[in-house]
Amino acid sequence: MSESANRPGTAIAVLEPGYASYDTERAVLEPRGAFVVPVAPDEDAGEAVDRLDPVALLVRERPVDAALLSRCPNLKVVVRYGVGVDAIDLAAARERGVYVANVPDYGAMHEVSDHAVALYLAVSRRIVSRDADVRRGVFGVGQREPVAGHRGATIGLLGYGRIARKAREKFVALGFSRCLVCDPSVTEDEAREDRVEIVDIDTLCRESDVVSLHAPLNEGTRHIIDARRIALMKPGAVLVNVSRGGLVDEPALADALNEGRLFGAGIDVFEQEPPPVDHPLMRTPNTVLSDHTAWYSEFSVRELQQQAADEVARVLDGQPPRNWVNQW
C-alpha cells in the first residue's frame, strides 16, 4: 500500500529507520489495513507525524516526548525495537491512553551477553593493542604488558535481567568463581539457585575484577558509575558496558583509564550516539569500543522486527500488547 493511500489512523511510522527491509512488519500489519512508512533519519519527526497521522510508532533511539505524542491524535501504541524505554515519555503516553511496549525477550539476550564477554576478553587479553603491535612489527611483548587472567576471579553484574543471567553463565564457564549481583528485584531464593551474592553497588565496585553493566537508564541509575565508584574499583579491574551509556560518567572513566587506575574498559554504548570524534574514551589506553552493536545478528534482527510488529498487531486487533510497560 502506498503512502498516498494514507487515511487517518492507518499509518505505522518507523522513526529512525535503519533496517535493510521492513517486509516483516508489512507482512504482519498491511493485512490489517495499515501501512508501514520508514521516516528518514534526517526528517523532522514532528513534521513526519503531522503528515502521516500514525496509529502506531515503531522507534529505536529517537525520543518520543509529550510534544510529539500530542501531534498524533489517532495514535494507539508506541513500540520500542529493543528493551530500554527511557527515551519515551511513559507518563504522557499513559495520560493520552497510548500503549507503550518493548521487546525484552528477542534473541539478542544471547548476542548481548556474548558481546559483553567478547569485550572483556578483548580488553583483558589486550587483543586490539596486540593486533596493532604485530601489524607495525612489534612482536613478543609478553610480560611487558601483563595479563592477569580470570580463573578464580569475581564478576560483578549491575542489573540481573535476562541478558545479565546469560552473561553470568558465560563468565562462570570462563572460570570466574564468584558472582556479585546488584539488583533490588532479585530474591534470596533466586540468588541461591544461581549461586550469586546480592550486594550493594559500592561492594560490587570494590570487590569485582570485572564490572559488567546490564541496568536500565533512569533518573536513579544515570551516572551510577561515577568518579567515586570508579575510585572504589581495583586497579586491575575491567569495566564493561553493553547497556546504556548514561550509566557511566564517561569523563571520570577516561580519567581513571588515563591515570592507570583501571586495567581497561569495553564499551558498546555512549551517552551521546554516535560519540564525537573528540570523545575522551577515543584516546584512553586498553579501551575497546564498538558501535552499539552488541544486540546485532541476522537472527536477532528478524526476531526483533517480528515481535515489534506483533505488538502493534495486538493493539490493532483490540488487545493490549504482551509487553505493556506503561500500564494503567
**Residues 142, 266 share a domain:** yes
In a domain, 325, yes or no: no
Same domain, 227 and 153: yes
Q: Quote the CA–CA distance of 283 and 275 in Å, as a whole number.
A: 13
* Residue 324 belongs to a domain: no
In the structure, what pLDDT confidence band is assigned to residue 4 with cuts at 50, 70 and 90?
very low
Distance, in Å, from the CA atom of 112 to the CA atom of 109, rounded to the nearest integer, reads 5
Asked if the bond preceding 285 is cis, omega within 30° of 0, the reply is no
Q: How far apart are alpha carbons 304 and 281 in whole angstroms? A: 30
Identified catalytic residue from 95, 145, 169, 273: 273
Query: pLDDT tens digits, residue range 16-59?
Result: 878 899 999 999 999 999 999 999 988 999 999 999 999 999 99
Give yes or no for residue 6 having a pLDDT over 60: no
**From 60, 80, 292, 314, the catalytic residue:** 292
Alpha-helix runs per DSSP H in 152-200:
162-174, 188-194
Which of 244, 279, 311, 314 is flagged as catalytic?
A: 244
Q: Is 110 known to be catalytic?
A: no
129 — phi, psi (to 5°)? -70, -35
CA 121 to CA 173: how far, in whole Å?
A: 13
- pLDDT tens per residue, range 190-220: 999 999 999 999 999 999 999 999 999 999 9
Judge if 147 and 223 occupy the same domain.
yes
Using a cut of 0.85, tell me whether the model's pTM lies above it.
no
Same domain flag for 141 and 254: yes
Q: Is 96 a catalytic residue?
A: no
Tell me if residue 150 is catalytic. no
Q: Quickly list H helices, 150-244.
A: 162-174, 188-194, 201-207, 227-232
Tell whether 131 and 246 lie within a shared domain: yes
Tell me if 323 is assigned to some domain.
Answer: no
2 pLDDT more than 50: no
Domain membership flag for residue 242: yes
Enter the C-alpha cell of residue 182: 546488584
At 230, which CATH number? 3.40.50.720
Quote the CA–CA distance of 247 and 2 in Å, as a whole number: 42
One domain, residues 197 and 262: yes
**Number of domains observed in the structure of the chain:** 2
Domain-located, residue 247: yes
Please give the Cα distance from 237 to 206 (Å, whole number): 9
Q: Indicate if 276 and 312 belong to the same structural domain.
A: no
* Owning domain of residue 272: 109-289
Are residues 280 and 155 both part of a single domain? yes
Higher pLDDT, 34 or 61: 34
